[in-house]
């Protein structure tokens, strides 16, 4: 573990399934920082909305009225970060293809983004935090000391997500997973409010040919150098 008095904010943004969360977890462990998966918050709101309208259609009018009733917490266990929605552990449920296919639609709504980014900004008030997502370096923490932007080919990302879902006991075809990743990339980069884009001062890393450990080493080295300066 790395112990350093100076605390900074680390933002990791990038395309779907580039390993942002895995890196954030490893780094949080190494630097003894807290870790927030902002995507899990958008997924939790999407899951809530799908419970309201089980036919798979999001009723935005109803959802926006219900935002006051949505409380998202994170619990840290040996199994990793658990996402708690109104007291219920929904960590597995938010990884379903149903949530995958609606989350970018929900995340394109400006009121929902405001609702979640306000909470995310508060989480960084004492620094010593790593957050991953789509708009962390651009909107949530524009003055984060360390920003990364991860990219990889859609096929590699789909393969990775497919295997990850199998581990969760979720069986979707590789093609469904790939299509979802392509759709989400498109929606996330083209939406009007806080689209996915690299912050000017973010370090871009193409991870297609790198192992988890190699990426971790790259990020760790950058962070250590920021902490020493
Ligand atoms: O893990 P993966 O990269 O597949 O996605 P995620 O981080 O769980 O995020 C799921 C979705 O939430 C993304 O496709 C975005 O539509 C949305 N999101 C966002 O708009 N802004 C964030 N800061 C994080 C996620």
Domain count, the chain: 1
Task: Please compute the mean of the pLDDT values over residues 143-162 and round it to a whole number.
Answer: 96
CB of 103 closer than 6 angstroms to any ligand 1 atom: yes
Pocket of ligand 1, candidates 134, 183, 188: which has the most ligand atoms within 8 Å of its Cβ, to mutate? 134
Least confident of 15-29, 46-60, 138-152, 196-210: 46-60
- Residue 203 burial (CB count, 10 A): 15
Would the pLDDT of 106 be above 80? yes
Q: What is the CATH number of the domain that holds 166?
A: 3.40.50.300
Task: Please compute the mean of the pLDDT values over residues 7-35 and round it to a whole number.
Answer: 95
Domain-embedded: residue 205 = yes
Give the DSSP H or E segment for 1.
none
Domain-embedded: residue 1 = no
**pLDDT given for residue 5 in this prediction:** 78
Please give the backbone phi and psi of residue 186, each rounded to the nearest 5 degrees, phi first: -65, -50
By DSSP bridging, strand 80-85 and strand 72-77 are antiparallel
Task: Please compute the mean of the pLDDT values over residues 55-68 and round it to a whole number.
Answer: 93
Pocket of ligand 1, candidates 107, 130, 164, 172: which has the most ligand atoms within 8 Å of its Cβ, to mutate? 107
User: SS3 for 194?
Assistant: coil
Would the pLDDT of 157 be above 90? yes
What is the spatial distance between Cα 115 and Cα 41, in angstroms, rounded to a whole number?
10
Domain-embedded: residue 3 = no
Domain-embedded: residue 48 = yes
Binning pLDDT at 50, 70 and 90, where does residue 6 land?
confident
**pLDDT given for residue 134 in this prediction:** 97
Please tell me the distance between residue 40's alpha carbon and the centre of ligand 1 in angstroms.
7
Closest CA to 48 of 119, 114, 118, 98: 98
Would the pLDDT of 165 be above 90? no
CB of 27 closer than 6 angstroms to any ligand 1 atom: no
Closest CA to 205 of 150, 135, 157: 150
Question: How would you write 48-104 as a 3-class SS string?
Answer: HHHHHCCCCCCCHHHHHHHHHHCCEEEEEECCEEEEEECCEECCCHHHCHHHHHHHH
Convert the pLDDT of each residue in 75-98 to its tens digit.
Answer: 988 878 899 999 999 999 999 889
Task: Please compute the mean of the pLDDT values over residues 119-138 and round it to a whole number.
Answer: 97
CB of 116 closer than 6 angstroms to any ligand 1 atom: no
What is the spatial distance between Cα 45 and Cα 56, in angstroms, rounded to a whole number?
14
Q: How far is CA 58 from CA 24, 45, 109, 191, in A?
A: 30, 11, 11, 17
Please tell me the distance between residue 150's alpha carbon and the centre of ligand 1 in angstroms.
13
Q: What is the mean pLDDT of the chain?
A: 94
| CB neighbour list of residue 179: distance below 8 Å, 6 or more residues apart | none
Would the pLDDT of 52 be above 70? yes
Would the pLDDT of 1 be above 70? no
Would the pLDDT of 3 be above 80? no
CB of 95 closer than 6 angstroms to any ligand 1 atom: no
Convert the pLDDT of each residue in 168-210 to its tens digit.
Answer: 888 889 999 999 999 999 999 999 999 999 999 999 999 999 9
Would the pLDDT of 229 be above 90? no
Domain-embedded: residue 229 = no
Q: Which residue range(s) make up the domain with 162?
A: 8-224
What is the distance in angstroms between the CA of the first residue and the CA of the last residue of the chain?
A: 19
């Amino acid at each position: 573990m790395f112990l350093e008095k100076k605390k900074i904010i680390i933002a990791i943004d990038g395309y779907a399934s580039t390993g942002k969360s895995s890196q954030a977890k490893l780094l949080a462990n190494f630097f003894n920082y807290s870790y927030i998966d902002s995507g899990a918050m958008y997924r939790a709101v999407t899951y809530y909305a799908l419970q309201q309208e089980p036919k798979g259609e999001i009723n935005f009018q109803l959802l926006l009225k219900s935002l006051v009733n949505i409380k998202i917490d994170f619990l840290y266990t040996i199994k990793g970060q658990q996402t708690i929605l109104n007291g219920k552990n929904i960590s597995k449920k938010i990884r379903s293809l149903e949530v995958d296919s609606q989350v970018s639609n929900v995340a394109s709504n400006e009121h929902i983004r405001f609702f979640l980014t306000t909470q995310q900004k508060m989480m960084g008030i004492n620094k010593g935090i790593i957050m991953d997502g789509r708009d962390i370096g651009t909107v949530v923490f524009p003055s984060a000391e360390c920003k990364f932007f991860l990219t990889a080919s859609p096929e590699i990302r789909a393969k990775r997500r497919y295997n990850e879902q199998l581990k969760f006991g979720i069986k979707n075809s590789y093609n469904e997973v790939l299509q979802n990743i392509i759709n989400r990339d498109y929606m996330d980069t083209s939406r009007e409010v806080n689209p996915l884009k690299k912050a000017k001062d973010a370090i871009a890393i193409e991870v297609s040919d790198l192992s988890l450990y190699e990426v971790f080493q790259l990020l760790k080295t950058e962070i250590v150098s920021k902490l020493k300066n």
